[in-house]
Amino acid sequence: MYHCGTQRLETERLILRRFVSKDADAMYKNWASDPEVSKYLTWPPHSTVKDSKNAVKFFIKRYSDKKYYHWAIVLKENGDEPIGGIDVVLINEDVSMVHIGYCIGKNWWHKGITSEALKAVIDYLFDVVGVNRIESRHDTRNPNSGKVMMKCGMKYEGTLRSADKNNQGICDVSYYALLKSER
């Protein structure tokens, strides 16, 4: 794989870019403080904007690592305010595989925005970084996340029982993946 870090990506409606310090307020307001958004995630909702500021500081610090991929999702029509995030949460160099996670504020659910962001990241990871396998997973009680994966061409590979833990506790998880040869 040719690691080149988080580069700016653009789609018809979106800009995917690095987080910057001023994004903390929008992160807190638009998604990170909402327990409904974080219901099936592995991190708790942010209690204060300081939590979001600390998270953004952590993201920014990691951008110097060429193996770090974490984008703010910005809807072009909203100016420069992020409405969610998408990132590579795991890399397995031995098999050229990455695992992707994402979340978006509930005001933007069911509008195809997350699928558009995921598709752009998939294209970047296959075409620029040179990965062979892209995978993701979701709590089985959150089937809309799986719909995002399927919309981007990812194939359902199976469900692992009691194999993960999130804000709901131990859960069953469904895995999806796409191979470079399947595009």
Q: Is 145 a residue whose pLDDT tops 90?
A: yes
Give the pLDDT confidence of 46-76 residue by residue, as tens digits.
999 999 999 999 999 999 999 999 999 999 9
Q: By CB neighbour count within 10 A (0-12 exposed, 13-18 middle, 19+ buried), where does 29 fall?
A: middle
The Cα 54–Cα 56 span in angstroms is: 5
Q: Assess if residue 151 is contained within a domain.
A: no
Q: Give domain status of residue 40, yes or no.
A: yes
d(CA 142, CA 173): 9
**Mean of pLDDT values over 160-165:** 98
Among the listed residues 31, 108, 118, 109, the one whose alpha carbon sits nearest the alpha carbon of residue 71: 118
CB 24 within 8 A of CB 30: no
Q: Do the domain assignments include residue 154?
A: no
Residue 177 belongs to some domain of the structure: no
Residue 85 located in a structural domain: yes
The pLDDT tens digits of the residues spanning 86-114 come to 999 999 999 999 999 999 999 999 999 99
Please check whether residue 52 is in contact with residue 25, taking contact to mean a CB–CB distance below 8 angstroms.
yes
Does residue 168 lie in a domain region?
no
Domain CATH code at residue 37: 3.40.630.30
Q: How many CA atoms lie within 13 A of 48 on its CB side?
A: 2
Any domain includes 66: yes
Structure tokens, 12 = 């018809």
In the chain, how many domains are there? 1
Q: Which of 136, 176, 180 is nearest to 154 (CA)?
A: 176
Cα radius of gyration rounded to whole Å, the chain: 16
Q: Which of 41, 88, 42, 84 lies closest to 63 in space, CA to CA?
A: 88
Three-class secondary structure of residue 154 per DSSP: coil
Q: Residue 169: how many CB atoms within 10 A of its CB?
A: 8
Identify whether 80 is part of a domain: yes
Confidence of residue 78 (pLDDT cuts 50, 70, 90): confident
> Cα 151 vs. chain centroid, distance in angstroms?
15
Task: Look up residue 6 and give its DSSP letter.
Answer: -
Q: What percent of the chain has pLDDT over 70?
A: 100
How far, in Å, CA of 162 to CA of 104, rounded? 25
Q: Which domain, by its residues, includes 52?
A: 9-136
